[in-house]
Amino acid sequence: MIKVNEIFYSIQGEGSNSGLPCVFVRLTYCNLRCTYCDTGYAFYEGREMPLEDIISEVKKYKCRLVEITGGEPLVQSESLELMKRLCDDGFDVMLETGGSLPVKDVDERVKIIMDFKCPSSGMEKKNLYENIEHLKKTDEIKFVIGNREDYEWTKQKMEEYNLPDKCEILFSVVFGELEPVELVNWILEDKLDVRFQLQLHKYIWHPETKGV
C-alpha cells in the first residue's frame, strides 16, 4: 500500500519533457519543509492505495509518460516497487525527488529529476550529494533559484561536483521571488551550460491551481 495524495493528467510543466501530456502520481509525505513549498497539502493528506489500483488508475489515461512526485516520493519505500512495475508495463517513468533521500535503488529505467535545495529554501543542509554518483546521463538535476546568493551557491556546486558532465542541469526561479529575466541574464553573462526553464503549469493555469 502507498499513501497517494492525488493522481491527475496534465501537461508536464518542467524539464526536457516539458509540454508533453503526462499522468502525475503525487504521493503523500515530505521530509523537507522548503520556504517556498506550494504543495503543503501533500504533507499528510491522501488515501492508502494498493499498487495495483494506482497502476489501473494510471492506465485509464492512456498516456505513456508518468511522473511520480510529491511531497517526497522516496519517503515511502514502496514507491520503488511502484516505479519498477510501471516500467515493466511499458510506461516512461519520471521521478521528481528533493535529493535528500538515497536514489541508488531506483529502477535504472526511471528518469530521475533531482531537485537539490538552494540556501533560500532553508533545506540546503539536507542535500545528499552521494546521490550524484547514481545519476545517469539521461537524468536531470534541478536548482530552484530565489536570489543571487542561491545562484552563486549553485555555480559553486556545479563546479565542485562537475555537474554539467553528469547530466542535464535545469535552472528555475522561485516563482514570485526572482524575475525570470534576471536569472536568464545571469546565465548568459556567465555562459553557463544549463537549461533555463519556467514552470509552464503556473503560466497556463492560475499559479495556485491544484491538480495540474
CB of 193 to ligand SF4, least distance (A): 25
Q: Does 210 bind ligand SF4 (CB under 6 A)?
A: no
The residue among 70 and 146 lying less far from ligand SF4, judged by its C-beta, is 70
54/72 Cα distance (integer angstroms):
17
The residue among 109 and 126 lying less far from ligand SF4, judged by its C-beta, is 126
What DSSP string runs through 51-106? HHHHHHHHHTT--SEEEEESS-GGGSTHHHHHHHHHHHTT-EEEEEE-SSS--TTS
212/206 Cα distance (integer angstroms):
10
State the binding string over 62-101 for ligand SF4 (x if CB under 6 A, else -): --------xxx-------------------------x---
Those residues whose C-beta lies under 8 Å from the C-beta of residue 9, and which sit 6 or more positions away, are: 21, 22, 23, 24, 61, 63
Strand partners, 195: 170
Q: Does 32 bind ligand SF4 (CB under 6 A)?
A: yes
Q: Does 25 bind ligand SF4 (CB under 6 A)?
A: no
Amino acid residing at 195: R
Contact 147, 178 (CB under 8 A): yes
CB of 71 to ligand SF4, least distance (A): 5
CB of 165 to ligand SF4, least distance (A): 26
Exactly one of 1, 8, 20, 33 binds ligand SF4 (CB under 6 A); that residue is 33
Binding site for ligand SF4 (CB under 6 A): 30, 32-34, 37, 39, 70-72, 98
